């Protein structure tokens, strides 16, 4: 018990800030103690890891297998080589990858900002049409988007004729399109979080003479940093992985995103199986920026109000 | 206030785009900066070979040529939508069974084949791209299913399905293979792969009119032969001999064959380049039929290039499709790059010695193949037909199953 | 429109007129922008807005698109008004997103709803004129017995403005001609130079065009033919030409298409957008017309829809609800476990757990489908079973939910992890310390607060999964299907089922699909509005 207590001690203090390490008092035996404090977390974590990773191991092993196919893949690769990575990196993939990063970062940042603005309005102001607006945002998401691609294509065909720079075959056009969804799910998500921040905070700031913009940028946004980071990450992943609309919009090889290019490898059932190794290599590379971004954002996600307290 | 400018900039951009959305429609395609010939093709097999051929056209004519490869399963729909939005490429290349739908949407133009060109092409390939009496595309490859066999395990080509099953079951009993045959069925069925067996047992998809065109009112699945054919197929299924299985699909059949788990595989000649990379010794032969049945006829599919009706550079598109692709040297260049079954007879003669298996696949198609119908009604057939086959393989009653499929298809075609 | 009733702007600092006074003035600082930096940024942004508006206006003016220009001006003015007026505070925050939403989400929906009242489908996409052009164009045939000429495209005079001329060589007779819009005239062999293959390379009095020049004159070329006795000579590409005549022609008098060879006629049926012969046979190329409520009528009279609809609706709701429930449940459990302040290696766990969300979903659906394979799939291999997972309804429902769980719980995990940080620590600590029961603190403090933050998300997650086409289509394709009904499968959602109905005929039927979309939307919309009303209480918690 003493050993465990010593180990946990500094962590506990760090986590609860100035609170005394009172937990020690109510703990049982050393073993049960360890399990109740940390062990169960490890157990859940490990199980979640196994569940999360085993299909991905499939993909990784297909990527490492020079003759990797979808169906012959095993959990562990039977042959190891970087052939697939070499092959995919020597083609158009680096270009696609760059396009994906560009559109992912811009789309995530702008969407996050747009939905934060909207969530602020919906959470902090009471205006005519507020509830109707919120409801409309939700209902729009519910509409089955069968014809969306046709309609969007026709809209963008007209845009292309007028302003080719933001039309079809332009990642700027695609970026605009993605921003169309910015007011969707994320506004709701953020509004929920904005609602948890006590109104007293902005009330007192207003009394001190802060304008609405100062309340928004100076008080609210820093407080909801975790959720900004989360929506940013989600927006990045969504933009990087989106291929249904992008594959219709981006036909020129030089403007394709990685998801479109990779999808092209497996879209045709005749070649899906044989191309799976290449595809898997591309998918693994494409996951790297997402993980890196998560690493970077993690400090904001878990930092939040108690920044610095947890050094996971 | 840091974010204000973003807010405003974004707002400004939206303003302009909203506009395009609301106010567009009268826009003119003008504005110069034409990029030359634009070609759309599928990103699957042969895409890179098409790029090489197009490159050559550009060099010969001194025009820029751009080949854009789109995911193959969406290419047709995208092309039709792009034509509607006046944003179509000049040329589109794809399977001949798109023709019916492309024509009903007014998206491709017929071409005139010179007599010399017509003579150079395989007659079935020309027939495949002929629709309502007009030739719509220039064929460049022609495929039909063949039987691949592992020559270590099965040195001789089986003459009938019964032979094949006997050989396969011997190998299975000896523990040398786990599956008798890799013929893609999948959970929702795949009528294309089952068609040779279906025809051998007397089935057909659509009747033909006297002029050789397909008659959508004569649905083969509703004919009495369809029931007997599916009884024979069902006997090979999961509750019969276990030769046909839903667990085998186009996603895993090749692996089963190249890993030596089966001695036989029914696949297209497009797998030849993939098999050449494997260590399995193999040969091809026609897909065998039932001993007491007729010949097994696989579908023939032809890939061709078409002139888009609403492309910006129609003259260049016509030149490319009708006058450039018609040349045997161009057809040969494509064949060399794609290792595909040629549509040109001249090219076929050239490769007889160097690529005997490709030539053999061409002969099998010419001798036993049936052209896959290109009428739009075919789109209504595939899905219910495949599901019916999967159900029969699973052990369902052939009569009720096929009757339900025929009813569904009739409903879709009629409505 | 949106008018602020909140008291934020009454606390505006000095430098702007108080909001209570009648009409507030417009001005760069009048909405409370107090800091110099803010003012500068605001001026720069509005200048940028103006610049973009001008940039956007140029092509509109050039193409004389006055409606477009009017919209552009209106939106720009709206932008200036909103950001200069002190009275439009909520709009300042809502305008950008709203404009995007209108352009790229609402317009497509409007388009869909409008389509529901038309026969828009393959074969009925364009206008009647386009259909006529397609019918005539598709019927052009070479005049029997006429040659295919070797063509050289030339101009009479200047390459870019001179009248087009076809320099034609007949390979069978070796004669040469000049074809103009007046007809065919023989050329003297002495006046032309020819290549080895016989094609004319130069002709006295004409300018031979190169490929680029021909490309520039595509519109002239499309309109240009050389009339002959039996038809007209038209080019096929750059190097050949043939004498062709359309076999079918439109006659405005009878509003019909006549076939020259057979004499058959097809009369326009403007109610259905098709040319129909007396015996009922229609030409494939039709056009788009309004059909009123016919598509909706087709939904309610379709036997297949009526027999399967209820079952599919029930499963659809169950699917969406269970997906939200299990992803939220597992996400919550993992988030709580990894939020343990004493846990080491959080970063490690968290980074790897979100990996499924980082992988392209389309690939992972493929991988999962293969893992469920009866004979070769990993799941049966591991469990030592021989279950046909996707072969019967109950197990394929389990399978699809498992895939949904795998793909979705990471998302919930991430969001909940973020949410947990936003809950003030002192609240949970107090409960944790006093009650000595972590679960009690969770149940009474953390969970209710989480729900406040996440209830809206859960509703929209439900909405998303209600129409989750990919999940079903890429894993089960709606299957398994009973042998006697290939159009409604055991795991079909309304949207996959609709897709099959609307796109499973002889071409895609968008009008019908749109009508079903509207009906689905009405059903799920009503239910969501009811659910939304129940969250009214939640949203006021503070």
**Would you write out chain C's pLDDT as a tens digit for each of its 542 residues?**
333 333 333 333 333 333 333 444 555 555 555 577 778 888 898 999 999 999 999 999 998 989 999 999 999 999 999 888 888 888 889 998 899 999 888 999 999 999 999 999 999 999 999 999 999 989 998 888 888 899 999 999 888 889 999 999 998 888 999 999 999 999 988 888 998 888 899 998 899 998 888 988 888 998 899 999 888 999 999 999 999 989 999 999 999 999 988 889 999 999 999 999 998 888 989 999 999 999 999 888 877 778 888 888 889 989 999 999 999 999 999 998 988 878 888 888 888 888 888 887 777 888 888 889 888 888 888 888 888 898 889 999 999 999 999 988 988 998 888 888 767 666 666 655 554 566 777 787 788 888 877 877 787 788 788 888 888 988 888 889 988 888 888 999 988 888 888 887 777 889 998 998 898 888 878 877 887 777 654 454 43
Looking at the structure, do residues C309 and C454 belong to the same domain, yes or no?
yes
Alpha-carbon span C487 to A154, nearest angstrom = 30
pLDDT tens digit string along A293-308?
888 887 777 654 433 3
Size (chain B), residues: 415
> How far apart are the C-alpha atoms of A309 and C138, rounded to whole Å?
74
Q: Which DSSP string do the residues of B340-358 spell out, in sequence order?
A: PPBSBHHHHHHHTTT-HHH
For residue B363, the distance in angstroms to the closest alpha carbon of chain C comes to 32
Domain range enclosing C360: 301-539
What is the CB neighbour count within 10 angstroms for residue A198? 12
Assess if residue C83 is contained within a domain: yes
Q: Are both C278 and C259 inside the same structural domain?
A: yes
C368 at interface of A, judged by CB pairs closer than 8 A? yes
Spans in chain B with pLDDT lower than 70: 1-35, 415
Distance CA C487, CA C504 (A): 9
- Chain A hits for B256, Cβ within 8 Å: 71
Q: Is B250 on the interface with A (CB under 8 A)?
A: yes
Cα(B81)–Cα(B200) distance, integer angstroms: 39
Domain count, chain C: 4
Does the beta-carbon distance from B105 to C103 stay under 8 Å? no
Average pLDDT over residues A133-157: 83
- How does DSSP classify residue B174? T
Decide if C332 is inside a domain.
yes
Using a CB-CB cut-off of 8 Å, the residues of chain A touching B66 are 252
Interface of A with C in 248-267 (CB under 8 A): 259, 262-263, 266
Which of B24, B43, B81 minimises the CB distance to A264? B43
Mark yes or no for CB contact C37/B110 under 8 Å: no
C56 and A CB contact within 8 Å: yes
Could you say which of B27, B31, B74 has the minimum Cβ distance to residue A267? B74
Q: Which of A265, A238, A70 is nearest to C360 (CA)?
A: A238
Question: What is the CATH classification number for the domain harbouring C241?
Answer: 2.40.430.10
Q: 3-class SS at B260?
A: coil
Residue C151, strand partner residues: C168
Kindly list the residues from chain B whose CB atom is less than 8 angstroms away from the CB atom of residue C491: none
Domain identity same for C222 and C277: no
Count Cβ atoms below 10 Å from residue C493 Cβ, excluding itself.
28
CATH number for the domain spanning C111: value is 1.20.58
Q: Tell me the CATH architecture of domain B37-142+301-371.
A: 3-Layer(aba) Sandwich (3.40)
A interface test, pick of C353, C358, C366 with most A CB neighbours within 10 Å: C358
The residue to which tokens 């039996």 are assigned? C230
- The answer to whether C441 touches C431, Cβ cutoff 8 Å, is yes
C-alpha to C-alpha distances, A51 to A44, B368, C381, nearest whole angstrom: 11, 50, 16
What is the C-alpha to C-alpha distance for residues C224 and C180, in angstroms, rounded to an integer?
A: 9
Question: How many other CB atoms are found less than 10 A from the CB of residue B26?
Answer: 15
The verdict on B5 touching A (C-beta cutoff 8 Å) is no
B150 Cβ under 8 Å from any chain C Cβ = no
* Contact (CB<8Å) B24/A168: no
Give whole-number Cα distances, C387 to C377, C382, C390, C492, in Å: 10, 12, 9, 21
Q: How many residues does this entry show for chain C? A: 542
**Residues C433, A19 contacting (CB under 8 angstroms):** yes
- The tokens of C426 are what? 């002192």
Residue of C nearest to A193 (CA): C453
Q: How far is CA B36 from CA A249, A293, B63, C45, C213, in A?
A: 20, 41, 6, 39, 12
CB contact (8 A) between residue C374 and residue B15: no
| pLDDT of amino acid B3 | 39
Q: What are phi and psi of C163, to 5 degrees?
A: -60, 140
Residue C401 resides in a domain: yes
Give chains near B: 3+ CB pairs under 8 A.
A, C
Cα(B236)–Cα(C143) distance, integer angstroms = 54
C2 part of a folded domain: no
* Phi, psi angles (nearest 5°) of residue C361: -60, -35
Cα gap B133→C236, rounded to integer Å: 18
Q: Is B198 helix (H, G, I), strand (E, B) or coil?
A: helix
Contact yes or no for B247 and C102 at CB 8 A: no
Q: Do the domain assignments include residue C1?
A: no
Cβ-count burial of C112 within 10 angstroms (0-12 exposed, 13-18 middle, 19+ buried)? Answer: buried
DSSP SS3 for A17: coil
Go through the domains of chain A in sequence order and give each one's CATH number.
2-81 (no CATH), 87-306 (1.10.3720.10)
**Is B26 close to C83, i.e. CB distance below 8 A?**
no
CATH number at residue C272: 3.10.650.10
For residue A53, the Cα-to-chain-centroid distance in whole angstroms is: 18
| φ, ψ dihedrals at C99, nearest 5° | -60, -45
**Chain A residues touching residue B270 (CB < 8 angstroms):** 270
| Chain A CA closest to residue C382 | A75
Which tokens sit at C164?
């087009």
Taking 3-state DSSP, the helix, strand and coil percentages for chain C, each rounded to the nearest 5, stand at 55, 15, 30
| C345 assigned to some structural domain | yes
The answer to whether domain B37-142+301-371 and domain B146-297+376-414 are alike in fold is: yes
Q: How far apart (Å, rounded) are the C-alpha atoms in residues B281 and B153?
A: 9
Q: Which chains touch C (3 or more CB pairs under 8 A)?
A: A, B
**DSSP assignment letter at C503:** H
The verdict on a CB contact (< 8 Å) between B251 and C366 is yes
Evaluate whether B61 touches B35 at the Cβ level (below 8 Å).
Answer: no
Disruptive mutation site among B255, B303, B310 for chain A (greatest number of A CBs within 10 Å): B255
- Chain B residue numbers with beta carbons less than 8 Å from the beta carbon of C210 are 62
pLDDT for B390 equals: 94
**Do B392 and C138 form a contact (C-beta atoms < 8 A)?**
no
For residues C338 and C221, membership in a common domain is answered with no
Pull the structure tokens for residue B317.
């598109």
Query: CB-based contact (8 Å) between A166 and chain B?
Result: yes
C24 occurs within a structural domain? yes
CATH code of the domain in which C310 resides: 1.10.3720.10
Number of helices (H) and strands (E) in chain C: give both, helices first.
21, 17
Q: What are the sequence ranges of the domains in chain B?
A: 37-142+301-371, 146-297+376-414
Nearest CA in chain B to C388: B247
Q: Given an 8 Å threshold on Cβ–Cβ distance, is A45 in contact with C343?
A: yes
Distance CA B113, CA B344 (A): 13
| Closest chain C residue to A294, measured at CA | C351
Contact A147 C111 (CB under 8 A): yes
C115-143 exposure pattern, b = at least 16 Cβ within 10 A, e = fewer = bbbbbbbbbbbbebebbbbbbbbbbbbbb
| A264 to B71: CB separation less than 8 angstroms, yes or no | yes
Which chain C residue is nearest to residue A185, measuring alpha carbons? C460
What part of A 75-114 touches B (C-beta under 8 Å)?
110, 113-114
Would you say B232 and B201 are in contact if contact means Cβ atoms under 8 Å apart? Answer: yes
Contact across the interface for C42 and B109, Cβ inside 8 Å: no
Q: Are residues C473 and C351 in the same domain?
A: yes
What is the SS3 assignment for B156? coil
- Same domain for C97 and C14: yes
Separation CA C421–CA C437 (nearest Å) = 20
Beta carbons of B13 and A114 less than 8 Å apart: no
Closest CA of chain A from B12, distance in Å: 12
Say whether both C135 and C146 belong to one domain: no
Domain identity same for C168 and C284:
no
CB contact under 8 A, A253 and B2: no
Residue C536 confidence (pLDDT): 57
Interface of A with C in 71-130 (CB under 8 A): 71, 75, 114-115, 117-118, 120-121, 124-130
Q: For chain C, say whether B101 makes contact (Cβ under 8 Å).
A: yes
What pLDDT is attached to residue C306? Answer: 80
What pLDDT digit, counting tens, does each position of B27-38 carry? 333 333 456 899
Token pair for residue C117? 């009242």
pLDDT value at residue C18: 39
C202 strand-pairing partners: C193
Mean pLDDT (chain A) is 79
Nearest to C90 among A55, A121, A140 (CB): A121
Nearest to A253 among B68, B84, B256 (CB): B68
A residues 149..208 contacting C (CB < 8 A): 150-152, 154-155, 161-163, 176-177, 179-185, 187-189, 191-193, 195-199, 202, 206-207
| Burial state string for B337-356 with b = 16 or more CB within 10 A and e = fewer than 16 | ebbbbbbbbebbebbeeebe
> B-chain residues within 8 Å CB-CB of C214?
315-316
CATH number of B146-297+376-414: 3.40.190.10
- Name which of C360, C380, C355, C361 is nearest C370 in CA terms: C380
Query: Are A273 and B250 in contact (CB < 8 Å)?
Result: yes
Indicate the residue of C53, C103, C285 with minimum beta-carbon distance to B12. Answer: C53
Beta-carbon separation of B7 and A113 below 8 A = yes
CB contact under 8 A, B7 and C500: no
Q: Is C353 on the interface with A (CB under 8 A)?
A: yes
């Amino acid at each position: 018990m003493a050993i465990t207590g010593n180990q946990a001690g500094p962590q506990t203090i760090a986590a609860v800030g100035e609170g005394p390490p009172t937990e020690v008092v109510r703990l049982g035996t050393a073993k049960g103690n360890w399990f109740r404090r940390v062990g169960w977390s490890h157990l859940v974590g490990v199980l979640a890891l196994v569940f999360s990773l085993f299909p991905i191991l499939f993909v990784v092993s297909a990527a490492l297998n020079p003759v990797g196919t979808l169906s012959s893949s095993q959990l562990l690769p039977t042959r190891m080589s970087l052939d697939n990575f070499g092959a995919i990196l020597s083609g158009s993939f680096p270009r696609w990858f760059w396009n994906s990063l560009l559109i992912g970062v811009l789309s995530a940042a702008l969407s996050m900002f747009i939905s934060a603005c909207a969530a602020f309005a919906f959470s902090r102001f009471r205006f005519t049409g507020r509830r109707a607006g919120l409801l409309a945002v939700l209902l729009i998401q519910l509409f089955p988007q069968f014809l969306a691609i046709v309609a969007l294509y026709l809209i963008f065909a007209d845009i292309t004729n007028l302003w080719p720079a933001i039309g079809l075959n332009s990642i700027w056009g695609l970026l605009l399109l993605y921003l169309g969804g910015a007011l969707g799910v994320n506004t709701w998500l953020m509004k929920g979080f904005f609602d948890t921040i006590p109104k007293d905070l902005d009330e007192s700031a207003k009394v001190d003479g802060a304008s609405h913009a100062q309340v928004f940028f100076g008080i609210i946004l820093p407080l909801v940093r975790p959720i900004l980071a989360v929506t940013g990450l989600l927006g990045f992943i969504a933009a990087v992985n989106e291929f249904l609309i992008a594959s219709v919009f981006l036909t020129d090889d030089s403007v394709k995103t990685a998801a479109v290019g990779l999808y092209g490898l497996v879209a045709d059932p005749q070649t899906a199986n044989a191309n799976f190794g290449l595809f898997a290599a591309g998918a693994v590379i494409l996951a790297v920026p997402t993980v890196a971004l998560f690493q970077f954002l993690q400090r904001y996600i878990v930092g939040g109000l108690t920044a610095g307290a947890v050094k996971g | 206030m840091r974010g204000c400018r973003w807010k405003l900039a974004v707002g400004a951009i939206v303003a302009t785009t909203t506009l395009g959305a609301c106010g567009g429609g009268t826009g003119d395609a003008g504005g110069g900066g034409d990029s030359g010939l634009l070609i759309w093709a599928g990103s699957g097999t042969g895409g890179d070979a098409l790029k090489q051929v197009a490159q050559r056209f550009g060099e010969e004519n001194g025009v820029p040529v751009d080949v854009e490869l789109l995911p193959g399963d969406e290419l047709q729909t995208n092309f039709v939508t792009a034509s509607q939005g006046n944003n179509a490429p000049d040329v589109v290349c794809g399977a001949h069974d798109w023709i019916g739908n492309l024509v009903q949407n007014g998206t491709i133009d017929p071409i005139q084949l010179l007599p010399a060109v017509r003579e150079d092409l395989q007659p079935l390939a020309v027939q495949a791209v002929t629709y309502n009496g007009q030739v719509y595309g220039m064929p460049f490859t022609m495929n039909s299913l063949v039987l691949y066999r592992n020559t270590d395990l099965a040195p001789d080509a089986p003459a009938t399905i019964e032979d094949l099953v006997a050989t396969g079951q011997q190998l299975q009993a000896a523990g040398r293979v786990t599956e008798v045959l890799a013929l893609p069925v999948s959970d929702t069925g795949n009528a294309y792969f089952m068609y040779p067996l279906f025809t051998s047992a007397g089935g057909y998809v659509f009747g033909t009119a006297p002029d050789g065109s397909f008659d959508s009112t004569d649905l083969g699945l509703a004919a009495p032969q369809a029931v007997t054919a599916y009884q024979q197929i069902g006997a090979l299924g999961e509750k019969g001999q276990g030769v046909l299985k839903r667990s085998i699909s186009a996603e895993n059949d090749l692996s089963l064959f190249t890993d030596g788990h089966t001695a036989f595989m029914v696949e297209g000649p497009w797998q030849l380049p993939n098999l050449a990379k494997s260590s399995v010794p193999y040969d091809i032969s026609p897909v065998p039929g039932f001993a007491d049945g007729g010949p097994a006829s696989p579908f023939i599919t032809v890939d061709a290039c078409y002139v888009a009706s609403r492309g910006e550079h129609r003259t260049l598109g016509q030149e490319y499709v009708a006058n450039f692709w018609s040349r045997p040297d161009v057809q040969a260049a494509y064949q060399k790059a794609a290792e595909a079954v040629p549509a040109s007879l001249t090219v076929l003669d050239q490769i007889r010695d160097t690529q005997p298996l490709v030539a053999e696949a061409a002969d099998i198609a010419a001798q036993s193949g049936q052209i896959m119908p290109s009428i739009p009604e075919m789109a209504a057939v595939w899905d219910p037909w495949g599901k019916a086959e999967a159900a029969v393989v699973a052990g369902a009653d052939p009569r009720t199953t096929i009757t339900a499929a025929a009813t569904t298809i009739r409903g879709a075609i009629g409505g | 429109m949106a008018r602020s009733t909140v008291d934020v702007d009454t606390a505006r600092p000095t430098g702007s007129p108080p909001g209570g006074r009648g009409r507030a003035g417009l001005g760069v600082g009048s909405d409370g922008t107090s800091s110099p930096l803010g003012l500068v940024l605001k001026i720069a942004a509005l200048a940028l807005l103006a610049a973009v508006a001008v940039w956007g206006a140029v092509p509109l003016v050039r193409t004389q698109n006055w409606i477009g220009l009017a919209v552009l001006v209106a939106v720009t003015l709206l932008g200036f008004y909103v950001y200069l007026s002190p009275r439009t505070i909520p709009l300042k925050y809502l305008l950008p997103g709203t404009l995007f939403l209108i352009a790229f989400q609402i317009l497509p929906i409007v388009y869909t709803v409008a389509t529901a009242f038309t026969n828009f489908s393959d074969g009925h996409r364009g206008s009647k004129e386009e259909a006529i052009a397609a019918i005539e164009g598709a019927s052009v045939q070479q005049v029997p017995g006429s040659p295919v000429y070797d063509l050289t495209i030339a101009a009479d005079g200047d390459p870019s403005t001179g009248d087009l001329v076809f320099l034609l060589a007949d390979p069978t007779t070796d004669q040469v001609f000049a074809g103009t819009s007046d007809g065919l005239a023989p050329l003297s062999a002495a006046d032309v130079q020819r290549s080895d293959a016989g094609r004319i390379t130069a002709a006295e009095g004409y300018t031979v065009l190169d490929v680029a020049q021909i490309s520039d004159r595509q519109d002239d070329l499309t309109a240009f033919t050389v009339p002959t006795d039996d038809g007209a000579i038209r080019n096929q590409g750059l190097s050949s030409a043939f004498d062709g005549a359309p076999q079918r022609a439109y006659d405005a008098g009878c509003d019909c298409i006549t076939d020259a060879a057979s004499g058959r006629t097809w009369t326009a049926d403007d109610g259905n957008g098709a040319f129909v012969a007396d015996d009922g046979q229609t030409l494939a190329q039709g056009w788009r017309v309004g059909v009123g409520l016919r598509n909706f009528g087709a939904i309610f009279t379709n036997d297949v829809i009526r027999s399967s609809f209820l079952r599919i609706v029930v499963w659809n709701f169950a699917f969406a609800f269970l997906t939200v429930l299990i992803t939220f449940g597992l996400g919550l459990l993992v988030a709580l476990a990894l939020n343990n302040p004493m846990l080491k290696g959080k970063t490690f766990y968290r980074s790897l757990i979100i990996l499924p969300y980082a992988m392209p979903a389309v690939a992972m659906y493929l991988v999962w489908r293969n893992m469920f394979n009866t004979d070769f799939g990993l799941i049966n291999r591991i469990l030592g079973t021989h279950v046909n997972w996707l072969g019967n309804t109950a197990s394929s429902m389990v399978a699809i939910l498992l895939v949904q769980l795998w793909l979705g719980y990471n998302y919930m995990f991430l969001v909940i992890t973020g949410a947990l940080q936003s809950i003030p620590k002192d609240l949970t600590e107090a409960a944790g310390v006093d009650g000595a029961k972590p679960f009690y603190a969770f149940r009474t403090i953390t969970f209710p607060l989480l729900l406040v933050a996440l209830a809206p998300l859960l509703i929209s997650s439900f909405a998303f999964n209600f129409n989750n086409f990919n999940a079903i289509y890429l894993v089960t394709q709606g299957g398994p299907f009973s042998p006697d009904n290939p159009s409604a499968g055991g795991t079909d959602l309304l949207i996959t089922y609709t897709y099959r109905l609307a796109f499973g005929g002889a071409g895609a039927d968008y009008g019908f699909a749109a009508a079903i979309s509207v009906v689905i939307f009405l059903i799920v919309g009503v239910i969501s509005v009811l659910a939304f009303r129940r969250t009214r209480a939640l949203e006021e918690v503070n």
